[in-house]
Amino acid sequence: MAGLLGEIFSQGDRAKRFIGGLLGDPIGTMAQTAGLLGDFRREDQALNARAFADPSNPLRVTDPSAMHQLGDRMLAGPLSMAPVGMILYHGSNSPTAVRQIQDRGPFGGLFSSPSQESALSHGGSLYRMTVPDKAVMQSASDVEWDKALKSAKSFLPKGTADDVAEELADMALYNRGAWNASLDEDVMLKALRSGDLGEADWALQELRGRMAKDAGFKAVHMPDEHGSSYLVLPGTTPRPYNTQAKTLFRK
């Protein structure tokens, strides 16, 4: 009964997400759903081939686990194909297409926004990404303190005092800016290898991204001039969304 109720609530969430996607971004939502339909059909064919692999008796179940998966998919129904996850946009001025997220540069990811308008303020080529909700680090409670502190100690210079490492880990984890530090400013700037408080803020964001990556997340929330942005980490594929980005992809 608990499993059935869970599936019913899950279906409701999928329905709301799908309808919200149709209202806010109908073209993108339908394009993504069309791709998922093809994937769903191919997966069904593969499961059928495993579940009923005896050509002499096509009704005999040869793989019970595949049969159970088919049953689960029938219960889930078409809404299981609705896009599930956070839709994010990245604006780029690069003369070449952004085909993948590179693990390079200080942040090792791609800054993006839930708002197309905000993303376009950073570049005219617009890319769209979908990150599963559970793969997005939103708040400090998403990461265990011991893991966050371990990430901070590996990020900071060797020999950084424990109390300094703990304070900087707390600042990065809770999205506290460099202007809100309780540390001596010179001590903080040295630990973050920064020349001023602005650079220190960037370093704290870089550390927050490191924490998310080390914890296995695919994206992490960051505050910015638009209110909120997300650093999307390698593993998520950017898709061209507007004409300018699609033109670059065809080159």
Model confidence at 35, pLDDT cuts 50, 70, 90, reads low
User: Residue 65 carries which DSSP code?
Assistant: H
- Per residue in 126-164, pLDDT tens? 999 999 888 999 888 899 999 999 999 999 999 999 999
Q: 36 pLDDT exceeds 70?
A: no
Long-range contact pairs involving 78-81 (C-beta distance under 8 Å, separation at least 24): 79/11, 79/14, 79/15, 79/18, 80/14, 80/40, 81/33, 81/36, 81/37, 81/40
Q: 231 pLDDT exceeds 60?
A: yes
Mean residue pLDDT across the chain: 82
Q: How many percent of the chain have pLDDT more than 70?
A: 76
- pTM score: 0.67
Cα end-to-end distance, the chain, whole Å: 54
97 and 240 Cβ atoms separated by less than 8 Å: yes
The pLDDT, as a whole number, for residue 3 is 44
Mean pLDDT, range 28-56, rounded to an integer: 69
Q: 179 pLDDT exceeds 80?
A: yes
Mean pLDDT, range 36-48, rounded to an integer: 68
The pLDDT, as a whole number, for residue 226 is 66
Q: 227 pLDDT exceeds 90?
A: no
The pLDDT, as a whole number, for residue 151 is 96
Distance CA 244, CA 5 (A): 45
Model confidence at 8, pLDDT cuts 50, 70, 90, reads very low
Q: 4 pLDDT exceeds 60?
A: no
Report residue 176: phi and psi, to 5°.
-90, 130
Distance CA 188, CA 199 (A): 11
Model confidence at 1, pLDDT cuts 50, 70, 90, reads very low
Q: 171 pLDDT exceeds 80?
A: yes
